[in-house]
Amino acid sequence: MKAEYLQEPFLIFGRGKSICPRDGITGLNVYDTILKARKDQLLIGIVGIEEDIDNMRNYLKRFEGFIPASSKGKQKGLFKSFPGFNIDQGFCAKFIYDTNYERVLSPNDIRKVLNENNHEKQILSAVDLFSENVKFLSDIKNCDVIICVVPKSFEGKVVKENKDDEPVEISADDIEEPELEINFRRALKAKTMQYNTPIQIVREYILHDDKKSQDTATKAWNFCTALYYKGLQTIPWKLEVDENRPKVCYIGIGFFRSRDRETIQTSLAQIFNENGKGVILRGTPVIEDKVDRKPHLTYEQSKSLLKDALTKYKFATGIMPGRLVLHKTSKYYDDEMDGFEDAMQELNITEYDIVTIMETDLRFFRNNLYPPVRGSLFSLSEDRHILYTRGSVHQYQTYPGMYIPAPLEVRIEKRSSSIKTICLEILGLTKMNWNNTQFDNKYPITIGCARRVGEIMKYLGDKDTPKESYAFYM
């Protein structure tokens, strides 16, 4: 067995590079400040009851200024002060919000929802209530992003009480049985997608500071980064790449189940350029292996899906990639592999890496209190490797997590690149979720957001056109 440490990948910002999203934004400004034509105003709409809108407006005002790091942060660098969302530094943009861009839900509106006896109808009624107001702010007011504040009275009824109902780090193929019960968040995201304005759903309790809640600076970091990405449709940072190497396209292959149990699985391709900016492509219903119960593509499906994905890549970038990297969380069946390779051959792509990224029961331990360092790579064989994408971080001098981190198993099916290059790219792609500023997401973006996308896409009809941008799913 060979063990080595992979250096933390750098991210590029407006005036330089850093390994940390928060340090980079604070000291170097967001990446797109290098662009001559950029928006520096974020027009925000708000939907909610009057009290919640007032609290949200106060929060936005608070986020405009400096917020000191939490006093709980004894470890060096773990908690970061928030520089403020303003035109002078950091995000180099400002919020625009006032009563002209607000839609107040009346007490009568709320009562109508809560008085529905049927639970499913109650959730659908709540979705309709919010969506019609989102439509107005999108169509008439032309907002960049719309915040939907879920009232406290909906907790435990329309939404699960005081719980995050979205899994953060679940593999693309770790799919539970379909939920027949309607999920408010997912249904609202799907329905409002047609209005062409991303939404940010906020639970009422998030607007209050208490000992149990996340510190205010961290709230500001994650919330403002998400609003910036969704509203301006741009990237606050990008991966550092070697300009002398061929242009790379990363594609994650995932699957999701239908809600009606009639369609077993539908394929999903997540396409990213080397900077981490991506689009989403819905494929076709697929079959499920009778032995291991895993979904997989036929030869025709894999070939078609990959050609469609690369066509979208070329449309976005103007060129075909010089190298292709495929990520999947389950094995590649022979017909899948043949379809992928034939597609690449027809498109004259000769450099490619085909990789499985999956869970593992293997664990490694250090002779101290902390788990292995993030970036630790253990090569068990030529084709099988264990990579810690979460773990102790040198820059923080601690492990920034609550639970013992589990590594990922990286299986190399076919490759033209070195093992180190492949794993460094995986490590870098864990930092490309612009829905927050987390330093160490477990999964690369090619895999990590598949579940979230699939859970929303299952609420779209066959004739509905899914949005390609992640901003509508996060």
**Which pLDDT score is estimated for 162?**
53
The answer to whether 254 and 268 have CB atoms below 8 angstroms apart is: yes
List, for residues 39-50, the tens digit of each pLDDT value.
999 999 999 999
Residues forming a β-bridge with 200: 147
Burial class of residue 381 (count of CB atoms within 10 Å of its CB; 0-12, 13-18, 19+): exposed
Mean pLDDT of the chain: 88
Per-residue confidence band for 181, with pLDDT thresholds at 50, 70 and 90: low
**Which pLDDT score is estimated for 170?**
37
CA–CA distance, 412 with 92 (Å, rounded to integer): 42
Burial class of residue 88 (count of CB atoms within 10 Å of its CB; 0-12, 13-18, 19+): exposed
| Helices and strands of the chain, counted as H and E runs | 11, 18
- Strands 248-256 and 265-273: what pairing? antiparallel
**Which pLDDT score is estimated for 77?**
65
Average of per-residue pLDDT across 169-193: 66
Burial class of residue 250 (count of CB atoms within 10 Å of its CB; 0-12, 13-18, 19+): buried
Place of tokens 């242009």: 247
Which of 48-52, 230-234, 250-254, 291-295 is the least confident region?
291-295
Above 90 in pLDDT, residue 51?
A: yes
CA–CA distance, 267 with 328 (Å, rounded to integer): 11
- Given this structure, which CATH class describes domain 244-472? alpha beta
195: helix, coil or strand?
helix
Residues forming a β-bridge with 17: 12
Give the CA diameter of the chain.
66
Q: Which amino acid is at 278?
A: G
Q: Is 84 or 319 the better-scoring residue by pLDDT?
A: 84
412: helix, coil or strand?
strand
Above 80 in pLDDT, residue 24?
A: yes
**Which pLDDT score is estimated for 211?**
64
Q: Which amino acid is at 302?
A: S
CA–CA distance, 39 with 234 (Å, rounded to integer): 10
Show Cβ contacts of residue 271 under 8 Å, excluding neighbours closer than 6 positions: 249, 250, 251, 278, 279, 280, 281, 309, 312, 313
CA–CA distance, 472 with 459 (Å, rounded to integer): 13
**Which pLDDT score is estimated for 176?**
42
Look up residue 241 and give its two tokens: 């790449």
Average of per-residue pLDDT across 193-219: 87
**Which pLDDT score is estimated for 428?**
94
In this structure, how many other beta carbons lie within 10 angstroms of the beta carbon of residue 321?
22
**Which pLDDT score is estimated for 196?**
93
Burial class of residue 163 (count of CB atoms within 10 Å of its CB; 0-12, 13-18, 19+): exposed
CA–CA distance, 310 with 354 (Å, rounded to integer): 15
**Which pLDDT score is estimated for 321?**
93
The answer to whether 9 and 19 have CB atoms below 8 angstroms apart is: yes
Q: Which amino acid is at 277?
A: K
Phi/psi at 241 (nearest 5 deg)?
Answer: -130, 155
Per-residue confidence band for 394, with pLDDT thresholds at 50, 70 and 90: confident
Average of per-residue pLDDT across 405-427: 95
DSSP string of 66-93, one letter each residue? -BPPPTT--STTTS--B--SSSSSTT--
Above 90 in pLDDT, residue 310?
A: yes
Above 90 in pLDDT, residue 173?
A: no
Q: Which CATH architecture has domain 39-232?
A: 3-Layer(aba) Sandwich (3.40)
Show Cβ contacts of residue 414 under 8 Å, excluding neighbours closer than 6 positions: 337, 352, 353, 354
Residues constituting the chain: 474
Average of per-residue pLDDT across 203-221: 84
Average of per-residue pLDDT across 119-131: 95
**Which pLDDT score is estimated for 175?**
38
**Which pLDDT score is estimated for 245?**
86
Above 80 in pLDDT, residue 467?
A: yes
The answer to whether 22 and 70 have CB atoms below 8 angstroms apart is: no
Q: What percent of the chain has pLDDT over 90?
A: 61
List, for residues 430-458, the tens digit of each pLDDT value.
999 898 888 788 999 999 878 788 889 88
Per-residue confidence band for 177, with pLDDT thresholds at 50, 70 and 90: very low
Residue 300's nearest CA partner among 338, 263, 348, 269 is: 338
Cα–chain-centroid distance for residue 336? 26
User: 382: which DSSP letter?
Assistant: S
Q: Is 439 or 248 the better-scoring residue by pLDDT?
A: 248
308: helix, coil or strand?
helix
What are the residue ranges spanned by the domains of the chain? 39-232, 244-472
Select the highest-mean-pLDDT range: 172-176, 328-332, 366-370.
Answer: 328-332
**Which pLDDT score is estimated for 250?**
94
**Which pLDDT score is estimated for 273?**
86
Look up residue 16 and give its two tokens: 């330089």
Per-residue confidence band for 388, with pLDDT thresholds at 50, 70 and 90: very high
- Strands 145-150 and 199-203: what pairing? parallel
**Which pLDDT score is estimated for 79?**
82
Above 60 in pLDDT, residue 234?
A: yes
User: 33: which DSSP letter?
Assistant: G
The answer to whether 181 and 458 have CB atoms below 8 angstroms apart is: no
Which of 197-211, 346-360, 408-422 is the least confident region?
197-211
Q: Is 416 or 262 the better-scoring residue by pLDDT?
A: 416
Cα–chain-centroid distance for residue 180? 24
Q: What percent of the chain has pLDDT over 70?
A: 93
Look up residue 31 and give its two tokens: 């990446």
Select the highest-mean-pLDDT range: 26-30, 33-37, 172-176, 362-366.
Answer: 26-30
DSSP string of 451-463, one letter each residue? HHHHHHHTTS-TT
Above 90 in pLDDT, residue 88?
A: yes
122: left (phi over 0), alpha (psi -120 to 50) or beta: alpha
Show Cβ contacts of residue 308 under 8 Å, excluding neighbours closer than 6 positions: 269, 281, 283
CA–CA distance, 446 with 430 (Å, rounded to integer): 9
CA–CA distance, 212 with 201 (Å, rounded to integer): 20
CA–CA distance, 53 with 50 (Å, rounded to integer): 5
List, for residues 336-358, the tens digit of each pLDDT value.
999 999 999 999 999 999 999 99
